[in-house]
Structure 1
Amino acid sequence: MPSSRRHHRLWSLFLVALALVLAGGSTAAMAQTSFGSVQVRDVAFTSADGKTVSGLLFVPDGVTAESPAPAVLAVHGYVNSREMQQASSIELSRRGYVVLAIDQSGHGRSDAPAFGNAFNGPAGLGYLRSLDIVDTDNIGLTGHSLGGSTIMNAAAAFPDGYQSMVLLDSATGFFGPPGTPDFPRNLLVQFAEFEEFSGSMWGEANTRDIPASEALKATFGTTDDVVPDQLYGSIADGTARELVRPVNNHPGVTHDLAATQHIIDWFGQTLEGGHDAAGQIWWLKEAGTFVAMVGAVLMIFATGGLLLRAPFFSQMRRPVPAAAGSRWGWPWAVSALLTAGIPALTFFWFNTWGALWIPAGPVFGQTFATGIAVWALLNGVIGLVIYAIGAALARRSSGNRVLPNLPEVDGDVAAPRTRAVIGRAALVATIAVGAAYLLVVLSDWLFKTDFRLYVLQLQPLTITRFAQFLVYLIPFTAFFLMLTFTLHRSLRWQGRSISRGKEMLANAIVLPAGILVLEIINYVPLLVTGRLAIDEALLTIVGYPFIVVLALVGIMSTYFFHLTGTIWTGAFASALLVTWNVVGGTAIQGDVQEWGPLALVVRFVLPLLAAVVLVLVVIVRRRRDRVSAA
């Protein structure tokens, strides 16, 4: 393709990416505000222990201190954030309810650590009750998973401060007070038909046995199995209870039309002051943020491609090395099987070991990010060891004892080598991923939305999370350097030509294939018998995003490999994107403070270093100009 045409295509991709972000963000904002009839405010307040609690406050038009409205406190589940409650927040607010969707402690933009301050439940309910626009005699609570524990603690702190509650795939007595026939008030329990946490929440290992749960029966005030869809007790007395079983799984109920409608109906029965609205529109918001996320990802490709055409960066481009991997056929199939299978086989073990070996603290503050990093690093080492053994055996069989050249790392042997290649590759990756990050910051400022679909998300980072990002970027960069080397050294098959597009597709299939198969193996028994094949519910759900993320890594690393002829840019871009995704979307369990040592490095040390570097760049350029002039 002629150079000018490629240049124009990259600019077209850049503009399309920007258009998708703007169109998706605008669509999401329209849905989130019910087409302008609801104000969405970013709020922060202080809990009793001095921690900052973050939330989104949905205020319908016409609600004032003179005309207060019923209100609902909505709380997300573990390793999520306030945006995961968008379905109920949007649908309730467009029906006249003031809704406060908070970040639990250690989640989203609330201060760490997780599990502290009763998950921010009492603080959230206290703040909601303090608003003069709220009818304090008509307050409801809804929480998903650990968010159910949050609102149970809020109800215990304010026993007369609410009227009704919805536990969405959660339970009484689950990191909170137990339920009785009188507590909590007017309770709707929605528990999915294909629930992964039935054992840890209601004490029944098989999700089909939930109606027989002793804890559930005690809460419903019956000795018989609880009958789904039957009303127990009295709404007027505050003892109403009902069990509903949505046909979904644990994370799925947060994005379920029927489950959302049950929440709407329950508060419509138990709270006064709301009104009807036609249908549900929250899915438009989800579609919009997904379109925006696609735009952000395309921006990485467009920005990176354009930068590599600039004179400063074009010097790092090398000819694409000849394929040096396994021959097409069964040798390549074996390599692909190992690449896909080993990470899946070790996913649960290595993640668990990592969290045990390195407990959450002020440096490595995220249990799940640590587990994922350890899993990734160990798999990277395994991949290198397998490659080294294979290469040694190949040299022995050929009688060639000379170590091979590695053009995937150094570039083509005929091309000039320079240490600046690695630095410039890191700069290209940082600017490209940074462009996507600026778009999510813009979206947050302009639309009050981030980029997400279901459990996959990209969101702005607080100073605390950015400090964690820098910490975890180190092990993830090491992993992606190892992964991209083995990917483009061992899996670029010989004996059959392939286009760049097909190679991108092949790598996008191979990298996540093992995790996808693992999820299928685990979920088929749940669908058929009511129990997961492997009793690792939380890590099973944590694995969802990696199916998409690893596919994207396969595409992105191959794209930059063909543009530069080396692994560096693709590895750095993958590390930046995945670290952002992992750190931004998981909880901080360690005592990582907003003004702690790591945050101070981000606030003070890094800006000073950047200032020094900029001054040195100016000095060097001025000296070069003087030499040139002389």
Structure 2
Amino acid sequence: MKEKQKLTKVFLVSLAVFFIGLIIAYSTMTDGGNVEMRRLSVMTDRGVAISLEVFKPKNATRENPAPAVMLIPGGNASVEYMSDAGMELARRNIVAIGIEPYTIGRSDVEKDNDGLGSIDVTDYVYGLDFIDTTNIGYIGWSMGASRVNAALYVPDPSGEMVKDDAGNESPKMIIRDGIKGVMYVGAGGLLTNEYQINSALFEGEWDNLYRGDRREMNKNPQYTEVLGVDQFDFWKWYGDPASGTGRIYYEGWTGHVAGLASPSFVKAACDFYTTTFNLPNNKPILFMWKELGTALSFIAVIIAMICVVSFLIDLDFFKDDLVTKERVVLEASPKKWFVCLGLILPALFGAATAAWAVPTGQGILNKWVSKNLVHGTNIQNVNGLVFWLCCLQLFGLLLFIIMNFVIVKADKKALKEQITLPGTRMIPMLLKGVLFSFLSLLFVYFIVTFGEQLFAISPRLWKVQLNSLTRLRMEKFLMYFPLYLIPFLVANYLHSTSFYIKDKPVVSTILFWLANGLPPMFFLLYAYGKIAFLHTTPITSLGMSRANGSLVDAAIMMIPVGILASILYRKTKNFYLPAIFNSMFFTWMAVATDLIFVGK
């Protein structure tokens, strides 16, 4: 009884912290009421809806229009990636409009559309009466640089044609009227002096797309020739920003994925656009309070979810079939070297194969899913990640067989009972496992969506993977859940027979987390270790870049996955339940935002 009362108090406190965190985030994002923040779904001229995140200063009106900057994320990133720069620009009297490109997050899927919505949104922005359409800018991150370029250039009205090196003619392209500045982050480069708009490039010292020794970037002819110098200084303007000839390189101690949430990038964005639009830049950078608020909220919601899981598992309806009866329960080997091998070898295998498995899996599953399940569309990075997980668990299963049947003589009866669960009704158990997981996650889904409706804010953590699902993404959830369930069943069987310790719950939880989290962490250590020690990166290829993005997400997601797997198994001694729960949890986070690939 006392334990239940304590759990209830923890649950209520976690809910309170969740809303306190969102209040902190919201008050920071709105600058205490001086900025309006809205999530919009705009129906564009082509009849396709696109999701926007708009930060509008209160003093931007029809009578007093304000400059505007459109912020475009790259790859499979959601609009929320751009929110830190967006809120700070708005605090400096610039309308900031984050774009969620078509196929990503809550935007509709649109095939073969240049810029994935950047052109459509630009047309929409030019029609808003509270925006000064003579002072427009763009920020493009990673692949967002090409999406910026799709909207930035328009055919010359004169109809002049130009020839390429092969002699093919095409319309001459010019910069769209009203554009005063363009800033690329982690990709692209400075515009040549042919174009009279200010131009900037931000590169993180840990950015994984820069080729060559990053210590020599300021001497690299690829970057210096635009300025007409042999060496440049970061954070120094070249040319005259007032006349549109300003050029500047920014650098910060950050990387490609984390760069948009770094103080150095946000400071650079504010410096560039307040200079370009000739506005004061005298306010402190406060966005970290917003990040703190969302971090508190999501730690709290995970704790609340753990409490809900504990409440549900104590109900007789679930306990009767999900909690196993008398049987032999295996525990971790007392030999530390044995346990360490079971953790480290799969992690090394996962790190070594990630750059191959993620893009290969995308290629294989893109074709298979489109052909056999849903014709025409599937989720790009999710395909690569589920394929990598399957490869990882196949290796883990092989290692498990060798270690338990060749190196040591494992209790075969216990291994069999771990699968068969004697005394358990298998079909009702599996059905109740699905219902249990659904109800637990439905609570989190409701809380996250409710919080968003109250505060017009989307979760920033996990790449917005705790996100409200559109109808199409709900279909993807139902499609990918069984695909993720397969590797999670194998993983939870291996982990529950190898890392459970009856009298040491904390140690067990750490071991479960390490078993899940070490493979992506080892890959990231390899990738960023090379940057740290050799000042070059292995991630410049498309395959490595995809693996990097997928495994950064996986490393974060495996924290709650490992903790919940340990808690659920300790309460039930039933490895099926944590497998079902975690695969459902992982699927939700994976499909909620990721880029939907449109096939033929």
TM-score range, shorter chain: 0.7 to 0.9
Q: So what's the TM-score if we normalise by structure 2?
A: 0.88
- Structure 1 pair 450–540 and aligned structure 2 pair: CA distance change class (3 A): same
CA distance in 2, matches of 1:321, 1:558: 18
Is the counterpart of residue 450 in structure 1 residue 447 in structure 2?
Answer: no
* Equivalent position of 2:583 in the other structure: 575
Cα-to-partner distance string for 1:207-250 (whole Å, 9 max, x where unaligned): 33433555544544x26444433322332432221112222221
Is the counterpart of residue 343 in structure 1 residue 350 in structure 2?
Answer: yes
- Structure 1 pair 235–115 and aligned structure 2 pair: CA distance change class (3 A): farther
Cα-to-partner distance string for 1:404-453 (whole Å, 9 max, x where unaligned): 56333343x4x454531111111111111121111111122111222333
* 1:398-413 → structure 2 map (5 Å cutoff): 406-411=416-421, 413=422
AA of the residue aligned to 1:243: Y
Contact 2:469 2:592 in 1 (8 A): yes
**Alignment equivalent of 1:519, drawn from 524, 535, 541:** 524
Q: Secondary structure at the match of 1:589?
A: strand
CA distance in 1, matches of 2:400, 2:270: 56
**Alignment equivalent of 2:379, drawn from 350, 362, 366:** 366
CA distance in 2, matches of 1:253, 1:330: 39
Farther off after superposition, 470-479 or 14-23: 14-23
Could you tell me how far 1:323 is from its partner in structure 2?
2.0
* Equivalent position of 2:547 in the other structure: 539
**Alignment equivalent of 2:243, drawn from 219, 229, 237:** 237
Could you tell me how far 1:483 is from its partner in structure 2?
0.5
Could you tell me how far 1:81 is from its partner in structure 2?
1.0
**Alignment equivalent of 2:135, drawn from 117, 123, 138:** 138
Could you tell me how far 1:325 is from its partner in structure 2?
4.8
CA distance in 2, matches of 1:454, 1:514: 18
Cα-to-partner distance string for 1:444-490 (whole Å, 9 max, x where unaligned): 21112223337574221211222112211111111111110010013
Farther off after superposition, 120-129 or 152-161: 152-161
Cα-to-partner distance string for 1:47-94 (whole Å, 9 max, x where unaligned): 454322210111111322122111111112222111111111111111
- Structure 1 pair 441–454 and aligned structure 2 pair: CA distance change class (3 A): closer
* 1:54-453 → structure 2 map (5 Å cutoff): 54-113=51-110, 116-157=113-154, 159-172=176-189, 179-183=191-195, 185-199=197-211, 205-217=212-224, 219-220=226-227, 222=228, 224-272=230-278, 274-316=279-321, 317-319=323-325, 321-359=328-366, 361=370, 362=374, 365-393=378-406, 406-411=416-421, 413=422, 415-453=423-461
CA distance in 2, matches of 1:521, 1:380: 21
- Structure 1 pair 484–550 and aligned structure 2 pair: CA distance change class (3 A): same
CA distance in 1, matches of 2:196, 2:151: 10
Contact 1:383 1:486 in 2 (8 A): yes
AA of the residue aligned to 1:376: L
Q: Secondary structure at the match of 1:44?
A: strand
Contact 2:462 2:589 in 1 (8 A): no
Contact 2:354 2:523 in 1 (8 A): no
Contact 2:239 2:246 in 1 (8 A): yes
- Structure 1 pair 405–194 and aligned structure 2 pair: CA distance change class (3 A): closer
Q: Secondary structure at the match of 1:191?
A: strand
CA distance in 2, matches of 1:491, 1:501: 11
Contact 2:234 2:251 in 1 (8 A): yes
* Equivalent position of 2:168 in the other structure: none
- Counting aligned pairs with the same residue, the percent is 20
AA of the residue aligned to 2:129: D
Q: Secondary structure at the match of 1:137?
A: strand
* Equivalent position of 1:557 in the other structure: 565
Farther off after superposition, 275-284 or 68-77: 275-284
Cα-to-partner distance string for 1:513-548 (whole Å, 9 max, x where unaligned): 233233222212212332125652342243223223
CA distance in 1, matches of 2:536, 2:351: 20
Cα-to-partner distance string for 1:315-342 (whole Å, 9 max, x where unaligned): 1222585225534332222222234333
Equivalent pairs, count:
569
* Equivalent position of 2:170 in the other structure: none
Q: Secondary structure at the match of 2:252?
A: coil
Contact 2:458 2:464 in 1 (8 A): no
Q: Which runs of 5+ in 2 are unaligned?
A: 155-174
Q: Secondary structure at the match of 2:510?
A: helix
AA of the residue aligned to 1:141: Y
AA of the residue aligned to 2:394: V
* Equivalent position of 1:7 in the other structure: 4
Could you tell me how far 1:33 is from its partner in structure 2?
1.0
Q: Secondary structure at the match of 1:406?
A: helix
- Structure 1 pair 328–389 and aligned structure 2 pair: CA distance change class (3 A): closer
- Structure 1 pair 36–409 and aligned structure 2 pair: CA distance change class (3 A): farther
Q: So what's the TM-score if we normalise by structure 1?
A: 0.84
Contact 1:107 1:114 in 2 (8 A): no
CA distance in 1, matches of 2:224, 2:102: 31
CA distance in 1, matches of 2:561, 2:328: 20
Contact 1:182 1:239 in 2 (8 A): no
CA distance in 1, matches of 2:41, 2:226: 34
- Structure 1 pair 127–148 and aligned structure 2 pair: CA distance change class (3 A): same
AA of the residue aligned to 2:179: Y
Is the counterpart of residue 51 in structure 1 residue 55 in structure 2?
Answer: no
Cα-to-partner distance string for 1:139-177 (whole Å, 9 max, x where unaligned): 2221222222222222113621311122122214xxxxx
Contact 1:73 1:101 in 2 (8 A): yes
Could you tell me how far 1:186 is from its partner in structure 2?
0.6
Q: Secondary structure at the match of 1:322?
A: coil
* Equivalent position of 1:463 in the other structure: 471
**Alignment equivalent of 1:508, drawn from 509, 513, 516:** 513
Q: Secondary structure at the match of 1:358?
A: helix
Could you tell me how far 1:258 is from its partner in structure 2?
2.5
CA distance in 2, matches of 1:354, 1:454: 22
CA distance in 2, matches of 1:376, 1:525: 24
Contact 2:110 2:116 in 1 (8 A): no
Contact 1:41 1:58 in 2 (8 A): yes
AA of the residue aligned to 1:428: F
Could you tell me how far 1:556 is from its partner in structure 2?
0.6
- Structure 1 pair 238–474 and aligned structure 2 pair: CA distance change class (3 A): same
Q: Secondary structure at the match of 1:189?
A: strand
AA of the residue aligned to 2:289: L
